[in-house]
């Protein structure tokens, strides 16, 4: 627990120094006037998808940037042989970026939708989205050493992860979207601004947790193969 707290503090300080919080604040300031211009019905429809899409930068791309930075500095290889466990390393990254995303999302949602928002759904939706996007991001970036090689694959991956937004906006609906991992947190984000059936909430929490466990296992495999394995072969 002490190692996790230390890693969490380190990550938050690094994110502040790297301008992550300043970037999130800038995006929020730019988005709020645009979203406030929407009428009530459109706002309820668009806001959950907007929060999810905006979080990609704070989670998928930020964790990718942190891992690439630590690779360039050589610090991630040092961490691989330090007392800090891989689970603690990953948890610190995910928790710190989830906190950043939660602060930004809460500011945007409250400033545009007001106190009518369901706070538990907001927190659950943002945290679950952050966990899944961060884990997808780590798995995607682990094999790369530079932003140039990571950029094109990342665009393809995030495009696929964004597909459930089509269902949420009513553009392309169908029950098969419930199989997509990102549909689960999107249901929770919808619940923050409109009533959602109890079975959908249960689905979102259960299916989201299942995907978090699966992605956690693949993240550990990516750590062992692309971080520890590579360091051992150098």
Q: Where are the domains of the chain?
A: 2-233
pLDDT band, very low/low/confident/very high, at 179 (cuts 50, 70, 90): very high
Mean pLDDT of 165-186: 95
pLDDT band, very low/low/confident/very high, at 73 (cuts 50, 70, 90): confident
Quote the Cα angle for 38-40-45, to 5°: 80
Distance CA 116, CA 109 (A): 10
Quote the Cα angle for 19-160-26, to 5°: 20
- pLDDT of 233: 36
CB 182 within 8 A of CB 161: yes
Distance CA 113, CA 176 (A): 30
Mean pLDDT of 80-103: 88
* DSSP count for the chain of H helices, then E strands: 12, 0
pLDDT band, very low/low/confident/very high, at 175 (cuts 50, 70, 90): very high
pTM confidence score: 0.93
Q: Within 10 A of 170 (CB to CB), how many other CB atoms are there? A: 8
Extract the tokens encoding 65: 């940037």
CB 108 within 8 A of CB 54: yes
pLDDT digits (tens, 9 = 90+) for 144-160: 989 999 999 999 999 99
């Amino acid at each position: 627990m002490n190692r996790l707290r230390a890693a969490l503090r380190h990550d938050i300080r690094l994110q502040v120094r790297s301008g992550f919080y300043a970037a999130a604040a800038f995006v929020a300031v730019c988005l709020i006037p645009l979203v406030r211009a929407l009428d009530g019905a459109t706002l309820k429809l668009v806001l959950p998808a907007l929060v999810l899409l905006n979080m990609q930068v704070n989670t998928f791309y930020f964790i990718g940037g942190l891992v690439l930075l630590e690779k360039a500095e050589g610090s991630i290889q040092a961490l691989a042989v330090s007392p800090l466990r891989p689970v603690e390393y990953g948890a610190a990254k995910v928790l710190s970026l989830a906190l950043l995303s939660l602060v930004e999302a809460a500011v945007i949602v409250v400033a545009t939708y007001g106190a009518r928002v369901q706070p538990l759904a907001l927190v659950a939706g943002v945290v679950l989205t952050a966990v899944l996007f961060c884990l997808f991001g780590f798995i995607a970036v682990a094999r790369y050493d530079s932003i140039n090689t990571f950029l094109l694959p990342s665009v393809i991956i995030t495009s696929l992860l964004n597909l459930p937004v089509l269902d949420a906006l009513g553009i392309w609906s169908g029950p098969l979207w419930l199989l997509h991992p990102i549909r689960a947190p999107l249901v929770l984000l919808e619940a923050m601004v409109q009533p959602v059936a109890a079975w959908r909430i249960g689905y979102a929490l259960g299916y989201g947790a299942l995907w978090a466990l699966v992605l956690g296992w693949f993240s550990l495999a990516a750590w062992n193969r692309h971080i520890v394995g590579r360091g051992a072969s150098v």
